[in-house]
Structure 1
Amino acid sequence: MIKHILPILFFTLGIATVAQAQFNPIGTEYKLVWQEEFENEGEVNPGIWSHEKGFVRNNELQWYQEANAKVEDGNLVFIGKREQVKNTRFDPGNKDWRRNREFAEYSSSSINTRGKYEFLYGIMEVRAKIDTSMGMWPAIWTLGVSKPWPSNGEIDVMEYYRVKGAATILANAAWADEGQYNAKWDESKIPFSKVLEKDPEWPSKFHLWRMEWTEKSIKIFLDDELLNEVDLARTINPDGSNPFQQPHYVLLNLAIGGNGGDPSSTLFPKQYVVDYVRVYQK
Structure 2
Amino acid sequence: MVLLRFVAPFIGLLMIGCASGTPALNGPPPDDAAVPEGYALVWSEEFDRGTRPDTSVWGYERGFVRNEEDQWYQEDNVRIEAGYLIIEGRRESMPNPSYVSGSDSWRTSRPTVEYTSSSINTRGKYDWQYGRFELRAKIPVGEGIWPAWWTLGVEGPWPANGEIDIMEYYDGVILANVASRDDDGGARWSSVRVPLDSLGGQAWADAFHVWRMDWDQDAIALYVDDSLLNRTLISEMPNAGDYDFEPFHQPHYMLLNLALGGRNGGPLDNTPLPARYLVDYVRVYQRR
TM-score (norm 2): 0.88
Instruction: Output the amino acid matched with 2:268.
Output: P
Residue in structure 2 matching 1:105, options 108, 114, 118: 114
Residue in structure 1 matching 2:216, options 198, 209, 214: 214
TM-superposed CA distance for 1:41, in Å, is 3.0
1:172 and 2:181 aligned: no
Q: In structure 2, what is the Cα distance between the partners aligned to 1:117 and 1:129?
A: 24
2:156 aligned residue: 147
TM-superposed CA distance for 1:146, in Å, is 0.1
The answer (yes or no) to whether the contact 1:51–1:66 under 8 Å persists in 2 is yes
TM-superposed CA distance for 1:10, in Å, is 4.7
The answer (yes or no) to whether the contact 1:81–1:107 under 8 Å persists in 2 is yes
Instruction: Output the amino acid matched with 2:52.
Output: E
Q: How does 1:1-282 map to 2 (within 5 A)?
A: 1-7=1-7, 9-10=9-10, 24-26=34-36, 28-162=37-171, 167-180=172-185, 182-196=186-200, 201-238=203-240, 239-258=243-262, 259-282=264-287
The answer (yes or no) to whether the contact 1:216–1:231 under 8 Å persists in 2 is yes
User: What is the RMSD computed on CA atoms of the aligned residues?
Assistant: 1.6
- Residues 113-157 of structure 1: CA deviation (Å, up to 9, x unaligned): 001100000000000000112110000000000000000000000
2:27 aligned residue: none
What runs of 5+ residues in structure 1 fail to find an aligned partner? 13-21
TM-superposed CA distance for 1:208, in Å, is 0.1
The answer (yes or no) to whether the contact 1:175–1:243 under 8 Å persists in 2 is yes
TM-superposed CA distance for 1:179, in Å, is 3.1
1:16 aligned residue: none
Aligned-partner SS, 1:100: coil
TM-score (norm 1): 0.90
Number of residue pairs matched by the alignment: 265
Aligned-partner SS, 2:108: helix
TM-superposed CA distance for 1:8, in Å, is 6.2
Report the identity percentage.
47
Instruction: Output the amino acid matched with 2:117.
Output: S
TM-superposed CA distance for 1:80, in Å, is 0.8
Aligned-partner SS, 2:284: strand
Aligned-partner SS, 1:120: coil
Instruction: Output the amino acid matched with 1:196.
Output: G
TM-superposed CA distance for 1:29, in Å, is 2.2
Q: In structure 1, what is the Cα distance between the partners aligned to 2:231 and 2:154?
A: 22
Aligned-partner SS, 1:93: coil
The answer (yes or no) to whether the contact 1:8–1:190 under 8 Å persists in 2 is no
Q: In structure 1, what is the Cα distance between the partners aligned to 2:97 and 2:41?
A: 42
Q: In structure 1, what is the Cα distance between the partners aligned to 2:271 and 2:106?
A: 24
Q: In structure 1, what is the Cα distance between the partners aligned to 2:197 and 2:165?
A: 20
The answer (yes or no) to whether the contact 2:5–2:191 under 8 Å persists in 1 is no
Aligned-partner SS, 1:105: strand
Q: In structure 2, what is the Cα distance between the partners aligned to 1:232 and 1:150?
A: 15
Instruction: Output the amino acid matched with 1:7.
Output: V
